[in-house]
Chains A and B, each alone.
Chain A
Amino acid sequence: MKNHLLQAYRQAPWRVQLQWIGLFLLGLVLISFVAGVYLNISGRAAAAGRQIQVMENRIGILKREINDLATQLASITSAEQMRSRVKDTNLHQIDPNLALYIKVPGYQTRTSVVLAPPPNANMIKKPILQPQYTTSLWDWFVDNIWAAPDKPINVDLKVSP
């Protein structure tokens, strides 16, 4: 009776074999999926890395070009060049005795050039990328769960300008 019951609940060998194969294939699919995701992510990271290199290079070139153009502009508008243009266009310096001076309300005399904003309280440097975009899940766990369990978890995802 006992043997009979056991036999009743035993799977057919071909079914067991099929289950093993299925299990193996499932494992294979899972591994392939993980490998695919890994390859995809690492491929994109590599492409981004290469893009960074290209952009860094481009930044360098652009900075050089800006400097170059500023210097060229300064050369073609130099005091000597401007004097030459004045001469060519038959202009001459005003005779102070002929000058007419009038009071213009609100007129500001020449002030020194402002080429950059003055220093202010907002000078504390902020990273371009917020930590939310650069911190790995692992780092986040270490920082917020294990290392500082007393602190409230930072969930503020607002990106400040």
Chain B
Amino acid sequence: MKPPFWTRYLILSMICALVALGVIIQMVRIQNIPGAKAIMAQSELYAGVKETIYPARGNIYDRGGYLLAGNETTYEVGLDLSQIVDPETIATVTTTILGLDYTETLAYARNLPGENSRYYIVLTDFVSSDEIEQLNILKEEYANRPKQKNEMRPSLAGLVWNAHTKRSYPEGDLASNLIGFYGFLDRKEGHGFFGVEEAYNDLLTGTPQEIYMASDPQLVEALPEIHAGASLVLTIDREIQAMTETVLENSVKWSGAEAGTIIISDPRDGSILAMATTPRLDPNEYWKHDEIFPKPTPFNRAVSKSYEPGSVFKVITMAAALDKGIVEPDTLFYDPGYIEVGGSYIYNWNGGAWGDQDMTGCLQHSLNVCLAWIATELGEKDFYRYLEDFGFNRNTGIDVAGEIHWPLRVPGDNQWFEVDLGTNAFGQGIAVTPIQMVMAISALANEGKMMAPHIVKSMIINNHQYEINPVVVGTPIKAETAETITRMLAVSLQEESSSALVSGYEIAGKTGTAEIPTEFGYTNETTNTSFVGWGPTDDPQFLVYIWLEKPSISIWGSDVAAPVFQEIVQNLVILLDIPPDAVRQNLTTK
């Protein structure tokens, strides 16, 4: 009997099934042989790459939006050993364009791929875009050059470069003392040093994310959104900062001072408009730090160096006494030329006796005897309570790295002596930082409200700008007291025809000349000269603090620091669009 037709199909199907079964058995067998796990593990290496993505470091802007710190593209140049065909050309070109060592590069380029487990060798890093452009042109030219018979065509195959970003400071050393710098040479562990770069390092850096990029396009997914680090908008104004630095440099040269510091703030909200100190570093070349700042030179004297401020401190003592009601502007004091406090005698700056003086006269003539008397009348308890209220026993909390404060010695401390009450009253025997003085005196210029000094105005996080609200850190004196002392200082400046006066603007201010403590006691051969002033007195919009260390041209603050203040304010009123008082009052009345 003839078999049914489907038996042929059945046989054919069975053969196919057997073959398929054989394939399946073989597949299962291969997956379970002893080396299978190793092969699987190796295959995973090619399945994709895990990579840590470091977000771009946040930018830093001034209050006008000018970029102070950003990022620029730079390149790492290396050798892909498996692609190299012409080591000599690579060595020659990299020597010519990148300045690398010919012999060393040639030795690297002659390595065989896999030799010493090396497939890729980094030749150099932080190569500029211009140099890469030159390499690119040459590489393309060699690749497209027609090949002649029996001729070896030069080739840069195997010479590769990868772009990455590098911190860049387009303004050079402008405001470098408060910006700090980022150690970009260390691409993985780099972090900010000094200034806002250090204080806000975590925010600026952002959050690195580990991602997996599959080689199989079927498995590719969009990368998670990696936000750049937060950007900062500073309170400083680029033009005011540049002007301040120029004036400071000229002043240091002119006065023969060892160093200088100028801070300009807005007393109404504590924002710092400019902060200039010497020396300065171009953060694009931060490796010169140790050369420019030999120990113990601080990076930013305005926050990291304390000193005995001298007579500028008298405004604090006078404000405390006025606020407590111990004295009034017209209170008379007979100055015999000396006063005994705690068994020690205190004399005036010129050793003279000034006779009857009202309180404005005491400030105008900067009488140590008068201020020491005021402190004794105030009493140690109230005097030091006021100093603590003005913040002299702590850091101001300004948002730059490296702030310090000298401990305030108060009655009861081992290091405190009764005479300190007298000397502290005129700024000797007490050490402060310029930023502490700025914060304290902001209360006098701002109706008694002391504002926290700050550098960062707003932050841009995930494409949203967050404004930072000013903070009142205390009200050490009443508004009436602030107004009274401002008026007294304005009058005293005018009556002494100070070189700090600015035509058209009423300014309140005080000079300071401080002796410098040494191992052998105080010396009056070299001094610290200071000036603090604010204005316009009816609506204070700026506060300027100046400190010039050990000037050689004169030892007096009135000769050295006061003219610097005048120059600063003459420029400042233009940059801040503040019309002369008469014009402003006229415009306001209209």
Contact = CB atoms under 8 A, between A and B. Distances in A.
A103 B241 CA distance: 28
Interface stretch (B110-118, B135-143, B184-192, B461-469): B461-469
Contacts of B239: 79
A117 B574 CA distance: 30
A161 interface: no
A70 B228 CA distance: 15
A52 B217 CA distance: 9
Contacts, number: 133
B71 interface: yes
B561 interface: no
A68 interface: yes
Interface stretch (B61-69, B309-317, B387-395): B61-69
A9 B244 CA distance: 112
Contacts of A71: 67, 70-72, 168, 170
Interface string B268-279: 000000000000
Nearest to B62: A113
Contacts of A79: 66, 171, 174, 238-239, 241-242
Interface string B558-590: 000000000000110110010110011001001
Contacts of B467: 118
B242 A115 contact: no
| A interface bracket (residues with beta carbon within 8 Å of B) | 35 or more
Interface in B1-48: 5-6, 9
Interface string A50-62: 1011001000010
Contact of B217 (A49, A61, A64, A77): A49
B220 A53 contact: yes
A110 B67 contact: no
Given A113-B61, A116-B465, A123-B464, A78 B174 contact: yes
Contacts of B163: 61, 64
A85 interface: no
A17 B5 contact: yes
B72 to A, nearest CB: 5
Q: Is the interface of B mostly helix, strand, loop or mixed?
A: mixed
Contacts of A65: 73
Nearest to B586: A101
Interface string B203-239: 0000000000100111111110000100101000011
A85 to B, nearest CB: 14
Interface core residue of A50, A94, A115 (most chain B CB under 10 Å)? A115
Contacts of B9: 20
B474 interface: no
Contacts of B402: none
B218 A46 contact: yes
Which 9 pairs, one residue from A and one from B, show the smallest C-beta to C-beta distance?
A113-B65, A49-B220, A49-B217, A74-B170, A74-B67, A46-B217, A79-B242, A75-B170, A116-B465
